[in-house]
Amino acid sequence: MIKNDLYLRALKGETVERPPVWMMRQAGRYLPEFMEIRKEYDFFTRCQTPELASEITVQPIRRFPLDAAILFSDILVVPQAMGIDFKMKENTGPWLDDPIRTAEQVQNVIVPDVNDTLGYVFDAIELTLEKLDNEIPLIGFAGSPWTILCYCVEGKGSKAFDIAKSFCFQQLEAAHQLLQKITDTTIAYLKRKVEKGVSAVQIFDSWGGMLSPEDYQEFSWKYIDQIVEALSPLTHVVVFGKGCWFALEEMSRSKVSALGVDWTVSPEFARKTTGGKMTLQGNFDPARLHSSPETIRKMVHEMINRFGKDQYIVNLGHGILPNIPVENAEAFIRAVTEWKG
């Protein structure tokens, strides 16, 4: 049994003494001990070496009173497993030498045996669970099929993903074929994570907000919902769609355990749109962690009071930024553990 099950109780909608807290991208980026590892090993080596991935996962747990850990990995390990050769370029981010732009390329994308291609992730889960020793839950994650497609077609990060969108609009059949292959691989990947012992999974739809509400239904939500349907009988599923406020009502009708919201919506809007009966997660602006610890504390308490302590998980509205002072990250977390209703 997990000793601190506050996060799991919030996902179940139970009454809690305070809301649980964790931070997206809490494993790495802003921690000095992570930067030491980064000096020695490149990005995907860190992801693909179970000992390194598990160590990075627990680094913030050693420092802070967090209520959940999230496995250190990356959403692009899934397309890598499908034979799409992503690299991480310094000062550029994700990079693909040969982006997917044709139906023939889509045909050549494989749906792999995840045990063969992603075994290192499952090994990292085993090592991490040993280190956590049932203290707190471990979260597994994957990118949404749409978000993965964006990188595969664009070949790199983008502010608008125009090439990816054009591909979908001009080569509809190929786009849906690629999205389905990503979906099938993701379902197998997350199921195996659950078998290995993660307590919940989160789907990151980082680029869902690039689409119109209608296109979101066709190219993103339809595939996310397949994942939710497949995983919800097995574990808690959280969906976080950045910029997807327009889809919150539809999402709330699915079998998700919780919905993540970014900082562009108010707690009141998120509660009203999701019917007031859904566990919500978020939505502190990551850049606000540049404020003073006193201001952070005050804003976090206000955020909790607006969302309400029950059916709520305190988090950022996106991943923590690399240049956040460690003491400010700590102020955010301790503001939650010290909150009194």
Q: Is 318 annotated to bind ligand?
A: yes
123: annotated active-site residue: no
Residue 247: φ, ψ to 5°: -105, 0
Residue 139: φ, ψ to 5°: -100, 135
Q: Is 27 annotated to bind ligand?
A: yes
Residue 279: φ, ψ to 5°: -70, 130
**Integer Cα distance of 142 and 137 in angstroms:** 17
Q: Is 151 annotated to bind ligand?
A: yes
Q: Is 308 annotated to bind ligand?
A: no
162: annotated active-site residue: no
Q: Is 301 annotated to bind ligand?
A: no
Residue 246 exposed, middle or buried by CB count within 10 Å (0-12, 13-18, 19+): middle
**Integer Cα distance of 169 and 157 in angstroms:** 19
38: annotated active-site residue: yes
- Active-site residue among 9, 25, 63, 215? 25
Contact 317, 278 (CB under 8 A): no
- Active-site residue among 5, 67, 74, 205? 74
**Integer Cα distance of 255 and 20 in angstroms:** 21
74: annotated active-site residue: yes
Q: Is 101 annotated to bind ligand?
A: no
Q: Is 226 annotated to bind ligand?
A: no
- Active-site residue among 46, 67, 101, 151? 151
192: annotated active-site residue: no
**Integer Cα distance of 6 and 317 in angstroms:** 20
Q: Is 247 annotated to bind ligand?
A: no
Could you list the active site residues?
A: 25, 29, 38, 74, 151
Q: Which residues are known binding-site members for substrate?
A: 25-29, 44, 74, 151, 206, 318
Q: Which residues are known binding-site members?
A: 25-29, 44, 74, 151, 206, 318
